[in-house]
Amino acid sequence: MVSSILWECRFIFKHYILLSPLVPGDDIIRLMFRKNYLNLSPRFSPQNRLACVFRKVAARAYTMQRRAGSGAPLCVLATGGLDSSLLASLLRPCEPRLFFARVLDRTTREYNAWSIRRCRFLARAMGLRFFSLPITQANYRRAYVSLRCRIPLLSRDKDIAAVDVFFRSIARRCQGSGIVVSGMGMNELCELSAGGISSYYRTKAAVELRVHRRLARAYGLFFWAPWLDADVVRLFSSLSLASRKNKKLLKEVIAASRLLPSSFLTQPSRHSTIPVSFYRGLEWNPQD
């Protein structure tokens, strides 16, 4: 059974103090979170520093939800994978809702079935609400036509139109307000070198964050990718590639903290893309 995260957040002198450490045996009873706290604690082990990041993500979610008001739920973009499931576990005290984008196409049936099964298992284990929102070809094509002149990135990343449809569906479920939480960026943080992480953060990640925030804002939502916060990126850049590879360190901390059932640590990674049939014939030619 998944144990709940025991933490208490107090806002003192504009800094967070988090109690009840995540890692059993951790002697850090109190840790003052400052802007550059990660650079001020070299004596902490990588496991403890990563556990501190987990605490900070939970604290930020709590603060963001309070500032947004009780009517703005946390909406985790769930896929059944490790990254989004970890966010759901960390945000569990805030009672987030899990949302999965179900692309309706015969080529995605197997992926949809696997993801929905894992998401439902996670939701039952943590007592959370789960929603599977459909993305049809007709809705996708309407969003694609609407966005292709305003977002040039759409020509290279066809998933953006699906994100627009997904955000619109989430806004309807949440009655026009909510904080959308995504596990975006964790794969790159674990697989790229320190220089590669820096380049990714300044280029591709920055562009994707702007686009996702713009799409969310159009429907009254706020988009947040915790793993792409500056201090989190800085921490992962300071860790050795060997410890980050295949999410080794991440899984060690999750297992020690009992944040997720063990099956999530051993399951294979799965990914899905938008079927070609969804956007065939819609590519925009500037000469048209």
* Band (135; pLDDT cuts 50, 70, 90): very high
115-124 pLDDT, tens digit each? 999 999 999 9
Residue pointed to by tokens 């459909």: 134
The model's confidence at residue 97, banded by pLDDT at 50, 70 and 90, is: very high
> Which tops the pLDDT comparison, 78 or 3?
78
Q: Where are the domains of the chain?
A: 17-268
In a 3-state reduction of DSSP, which class is residue 285? coil
More confident of the two residues 198 and 154: 198
Res. 48: pLDDT tops 90: no
pLDDT, residue 286, reads 43
- Over residues 194-212, mean pLDDT: 94
Q: Which CATH class is domain 17-268?
A: alpha beta
Share of the chain above pLDDT 90, in %: 65
For 23-47, what is the mean pLDDT?
Answer: 45
pLDDT at 16 over 60: no
**Model pLDDT, residue 156:** 81
- Among the listed residues 103, 121, 109, the one whose alpha carbon sits nearest the alpha carbon of residue 161: 103
For the segment 259-273, what is each residue's pLDDT rounded down to a tens digit? 999 999 999 888 888
Strand order across the beta sheet in which 8-12 lies = 8-12, 15-19, 31-33
Output the pLDDT for position 2: 32
Res 284: pLDDT = 55
Name the residue among 118, 124, 127, 133 with its Cα closest to residue 171. Answer: 133
Q: Calculate mean pLDDT across residues 93-98.
A: 94
What is residue 149's predicted lDDT score, i.e. its pLDDT?
A: 84
The pTM assigned to this predicted structure is: 0.83
- Let me know: does 282 contact 141? Beta carbons within 8 Å: yes
| Residue 278: C-alpha distances to residues 43, 138, 158 (Å) | 52, 8, 9
- Whether pLDDT at 44 is above 90: no
CB neighbourhood size of 256 (10 A): 15
pLDDT of residue 43: 60
pLDDT of residue 230 exceeding 60 = yes
* Average pLDDT over every residue of 202-227: 94
